[in-house]
Structure 1
Amino acid sequence: MPPGWPRGVRPPGVEGWQESAVAWLYDLVPPGYRRHEVLKRHPALLARLARQHVEAALQAARHGYGTARVDLRDRVDAHVIDAVMRVYEYEGSRTAALEREVGLVEQALAGKRWTPRL
């Protein structure tokens, strides 16, 4: 698998891989998405929505990071702002990695296969 392939998702071509991918994707989107039959019938669409959801979360983390010091300076102490900045850094990094994972699963659902490099 390519670097960044998500844990818990079986490799494409292995029995049950698509089911493991769908279960993983459903864990990334709001719970209400499970009630839409079109997403059950078309996992590639679920992957698209999951990617968009993760992209929005990453954008929100970046925006929050960029505005937190100004927005919070009159509301909390500096050490609290520093702590929330660390949260944004951690979650931003985690979400950026998740964005890559979702992209790889989306590509695999679209039929892309990777070959090992020597």
Structure 2
Amino acid sequence: MVQLVSPPGWPGQVRPPGAPGWEGTAVNWLLDICPPEFRGYPVLRRHEVVLARFAVLHVEACQAAVRRGLSEARSVLRDVADADTVERAIETWQRESARLIAERRAVGLVEEALRGRRFVARL
């Protein structure tokens, strides 16, 4: 019997690699984290590895946007918001950064699995 292993950071919405229909759950999850326009591109719907690569780049672009938002928040927002609001905006950027770190790991794991990598349980 083959043991199905989901590594730490694997998205809960995606069945473990090797489970029946796991690729379909991966495609659905990838489409959910990408911009809605991606659903309209036939190549992304037909080729899950290509979709995964697009998803990785999309998440990395979001991470870059968060880094920029954090780096310029005080200087850009100080003229349009009070200090408390600016600090709350910075906290929001920080929470989004943490979420995106986890999402980047998850999408990377899904991409690796779609490329054929199988994960093994560690003791």
TM-score computed with the length of structure 1 as normaliser: 0.97
2:51 equivalent in structure 1: 46
Q: Tell me, what secondary structure is at the counterpart of 2:33?
A: coil
Aligned residue type for 2:27: V
Structure 2, unaligned runs of 5 or more: 1-5
2:19 is the counterpart of 1:14: yes
Equivalent position to 1:98, from 78, 100, 103 = 103
Structure 1, unaligned runs of 5 or more: none
Q: Provide the alpha-carbon RMSD of the alignment.
A: 0.8
2:114 is the counterpart of 1:109: yes
Q: Tell me, what secondary structure is at the counterpart of 1:27?
A: helix
- Structure 1 runs (4+) greater than 4 angstroms displaced: none
2:60 is the counterpart of 1:55: yes
Deviations 1:30-72 (A, max 9, x none): 1121122211221000000011011100110111011101111
Distance (whole Å) between structure 1 residues aligned to residue 77 and residue 46 of structure 2: 45
Identity of aligned residues (%): 48
Aligned residue type for 2:38: Y
Aligned residue type for 1:12: P
